[in-house]
């Protein structure tokens, strides 16, 4: 390969630009579908794979063009697409209708996205898999020449990072231009930068072009990589000194203080990641370390000795938490990461104790660990080792064995973090009759099932006082809370379900015949503000639907409350409703005065 220019020809360049254009169009259409809430965004079984494949596979294609034969590339893309489809289908099926981790607004018509963990781990695994596949293409060996793996993996990483930097620089320049034009009273560029059909394709095309441009100048990429590795390698002595000092101090102070932090596992695993990265910046392709400064060579060997100790401490901290609280999704993921860190530690310890003293055995260890990581991550995002399934089974076992009481059992973890498995477990617990305190278990399970979202930062949901039915002495129709299927269209709103069923939200209920048909309607009013509420109507056969919204115009809060409590509410004839060609036009009076009433 020429050191100044790649062998990539013009036709390959145009093919890469074409792939980037197709990706830009696909992602724009998916974005529009999500914002407009139309197909395929409303069908997660289609939206999830299209979205994840649309983000990743074109990048893999651009990276592979010019590096693989077209037939081999198509087979590789087919395999990756199949894996992504299977992962996204499992991610969709295990979900509980919640966008866990995205902090998106709640609503009956919201669009669901693949889980954040799937985004992160699939991106990391695709990078590793693509590096391994490109190296295999050159040598046709699954454990080929380590310098080739090193060169291709770091080259791809630098390309991806600098392509992202290129996008940032592109938009920074455009925003600067928009600001300059705005001083001349020209806002066309500002308008374009706020328009989705402009900024989404521009970002995607910029990324694809940057990948191609970096591939056209491999010497520049290699130079940036070498400079980055040299700078990072000189952080290795500092990291080794700090972590060695930490372990020596720990030996004298004892580990009790470490366990009391409750986040020791994550700090120790972060230290393992730092050591693995910095050791490899010094090791590089296996030949650089021989000519490095003596302090780097000794630091690398000492770091290899520290790594398994830190991994064992992380496993011990995790084991204490699991013994005390059982498995959870986060703990299982942390356990898999700790196992990977411990495997790295054993492999690097073996390399450090070798007679040659040059860590030569690290080369094979790095390649083997890459395959191990891929297998473990695939297992985690499949039914085989699904963290939600494993953790729910363990939590239920702890409840059945009496290791946790019915009062302290975390029902809300099952509802919001257990996915489909947690909801199915709650349904079983809602029918439980054999366990001690079965009545309490049924009540708590039913309460958790009725919740639609969890208050951020508040893991404990407190039960509110019972709602009041006005006028005093009134009763809800018997069929009202026996509505079949909590997800039936036009049934209880989220707030009303949390008030009437879960009793975690304050509300009051007015039973009133609103349309003079001889049957009462149910008006649920939000007690926290009295801005209004929802009106539910019996449409026949005991089926209730939400058919209206109550808008309150109030001058005196206390006077209104007293009147509702004593049954002084009456239906007042208002503006007539117009029916025009099958459509209805409703005239709503303007709000003259609106006052927030205290709870």
Taking the CB of residue 412, how many other CB atoms lie within 10 A of it? 21
The residue among 18, 179, 125, 174 whose CA lies nearest residue 373 is 125
Those residues whose C-beta lies under 8 Å from the C-beta of residue 350, and which sit 6 or more positions away, are: 361, 365
Q: Which of 255-263's residues contact partners 24+ apart within 8 Å by CB, and which partners?
A: 255/313, 255/316, 258/313, 258/317, 259/317, 259/320, 262/321
Provide the pLDDT for residue 554. Answer: 57
Q: What is the pLDDT of residue 2?
A: 45
pLDDT digits (tens, 9 = 90+) for 157-178: 999 999 999 999 999 999 999 9
Q: What is the pTM of this model?
A: 0.77
Q: Is the pLDDT of residue 511 over 60?
A: yes
Q: Would the pLDDT of 4 be above 60?
A: no
Q: Mind listing the pLDDT tens digit for each residue in 459-503?
A: 444 555 567 787 777 788 878 877 655 444 446 777 787 777 766
Query: Residue 162 in contact with residue 224, Cβ under 8 Å?
Result: yes
Note the pLDDT of residue 174. 96
pLDDT tens digit string along 242-281? 999 999 999 998 888 888 887 899 999 999 999 999 999 9
Cis peptide before 453 (omega within 30 of 0): no
Query: What is the pLDDT, as a whole number, of residue 306?
Result: 96
Specify whether the CB–CB gap between 297 and 288 falls below 8 A.
Answer: no
Confidence tier at 507 by pLDDT (50, 70, 90): confident
- pLDDT, greater one: 317 or 587: 317
Q: 274 with 236: CB under 8 angstroms?
A: no
How far is the C-alpha of 223 from the C-alpha of 226, rounded, in Å? 5
More reliable by pLDDT, 106 or 245: 245
> Mean pLDDT across the chain, nearest whole number?
84
Question: Region 541-550: what's the mean pLDDT?
Answer: 78
Looking at residue 72, what is its pLDDT?
A: 94
Contact 249, 299 (CB under 8 A): no
For 123-147, give the DSSP string: HHHHHHHHHHHHHHHHHS-TT--HH
Residues 90 and 288: their CA atoms lie apart, in Å, by: 44
Q: Rounded mean pLDDT of 236-246? A: 96
DSSP summary character for residue 37: T
pLDDT level of residue 457 (50, 70, 90 thresholds): very low
| Residues 313-331: tens digit of each pLDDT | 999 999 999 999 999 999 9
Please report how the helices 44-64 and 10-36 are oriented relative to each other, as an axis angle in degrees rounded to 10.
160
Average pLDDT estimate for 305-312: 96
Point out the least confidently predicted range of 190-194, 215-219, 313-317.
215-219
d(CA 595, CA 556): 8
Q: Return the percentage of the chain with pLDDT > 70, whole number.
A: 82
What phi and psi values does residue 222 have, to the nearest 5 degrees? -65, -40
User: Which residue is it, tokens 């489909």?
Assistant: 420
Question: How much is the pLDDT for 583?
Answer: 53
- Non-local CB neighbours of 159 within 8 Å, separated by 6+ positions: 63, 210, 211, 214, 215, 221
pLDDT > 50? residue 591:
no
Residue 594: is it exposed, middle or buried by C-beta count within 10 angstroms (0-12/13-18/19+)?
middle
Beta strand ranges found along 230-272 (DSSP E): none
């Amino acid at each position: 390969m020429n050191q100044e220019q790649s062998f990539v020809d013009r036709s390959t360049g145009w093919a890469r630009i074409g792939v980037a254009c197709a990706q830009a169009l696909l992602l724009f259409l998916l974005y529009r579908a999500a914002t407009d809430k139309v197909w395929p965004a409303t069908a997660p079984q289609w939206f999830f794979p299209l979205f994840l494949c649309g983000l990743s596979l074109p990048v893999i294609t651009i990276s592979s063009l010019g590096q693989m034969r077209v037939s081999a590339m198509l087979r590789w893309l087919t395999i990756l697409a199949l894996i992504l489809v299977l992962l996204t289908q499992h991610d969709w099926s295990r979900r509980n209708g919640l966008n866990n981790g995205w902090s998106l607004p709640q609503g009956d018509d919201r669009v669901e996205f693949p889980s954040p963990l799937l985004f992160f781990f699939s991106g990391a695994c695709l990078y590793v898999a693509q590096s391994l596949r490109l190296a295999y293409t050159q040598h046709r060996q699954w454990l080929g020449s380590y310098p080739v793996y090193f060169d291709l993996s770091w080259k791809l990483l630098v390309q991806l990072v600098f392509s992202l930097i290129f996008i940032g620089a592109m938009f920074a320049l455009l925003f600067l231009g928009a600001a300059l034009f705005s001083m001349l009273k020209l806002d066309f560029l500002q308008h374009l930068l706020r328009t989705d059909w402009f900024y989404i394709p521009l970002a995607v095309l910029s990324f694809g072009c940057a990948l191609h441009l970096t591939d056209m100048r491999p010497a520049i990429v290699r130079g940036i990589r070498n400079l980055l590795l040299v700078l990072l390698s000189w952080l290795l002595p500092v990291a080794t000194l700090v972590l060695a000092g930490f372990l020596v101090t720990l030996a004298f102070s004892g580990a009790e203080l470490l366990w009391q932090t409750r986040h020791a596992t994550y700090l120790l695993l972060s230290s393992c990641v730092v050591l693995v990265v910095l050791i490899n910046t010094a090791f590089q392709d296996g030949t650089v370390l021989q000519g490095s400064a003596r302090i780097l060579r000794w630091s690398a060997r000492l770091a290899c000795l520290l790594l398994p100790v830190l991994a064992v401490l992380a496993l011990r901290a995790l084991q204490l938490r699991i013994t005390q609280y059982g498995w959870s999704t986060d703990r299982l993921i942390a356990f898999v990461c700790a196992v990977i860190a411990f495997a790295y530690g054993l492999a690097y310890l073996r390399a450090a104790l070798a007679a040659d003293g040059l860590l030569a055995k690290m080369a094979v260890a790095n390649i083997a660990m890459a395959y191990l990581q891929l297998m473990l991550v695939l297992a985690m995002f499949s039914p085989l080792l699904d963290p939600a399934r494993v953790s729910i089974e363990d939590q239920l076992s702890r409840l059945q064995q009496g290791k946790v009481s019915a009062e302290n059992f975390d029902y809300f973890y099952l509802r919001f973090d257990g996915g489909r498995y947690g909801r199915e477990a709650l349904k079983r617990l809602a029918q439980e009759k054999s366990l001690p305190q079965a009545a309490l278990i049924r009540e708590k399970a039913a309460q958790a099932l009725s919740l639609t979202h969890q208050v951020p930062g508040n893991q404990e949901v407190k039960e509110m006082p019972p709602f009041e039915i006005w006028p005093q002495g009134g009763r809800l129709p018997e069929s009202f809370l026996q509505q079949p299927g909590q997800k039936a269209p036009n049934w209880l709103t989220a707030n009303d379900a949390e008030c009437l069923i879960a009793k975690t939200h304050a509300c009051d209920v007015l039973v009133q015949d609103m349309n003079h048909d001889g049957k009462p309607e149910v008006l649920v009013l939000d007690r926290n503000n009295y801005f209004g509420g929802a009106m539910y109507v019996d449409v026949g056969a005991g089926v209730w639907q939400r058919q209206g919204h109550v808008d309150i115009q109030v001058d005196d809060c206390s006077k209104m409350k007293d009147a509702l409590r004593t049954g002084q509410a009456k239906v007042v004839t208002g503006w007539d409703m117009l029916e025009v060609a099958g459509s209805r036009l409703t005239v709503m009076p303007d709000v003259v005065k609106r006052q927030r009433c205290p709870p």
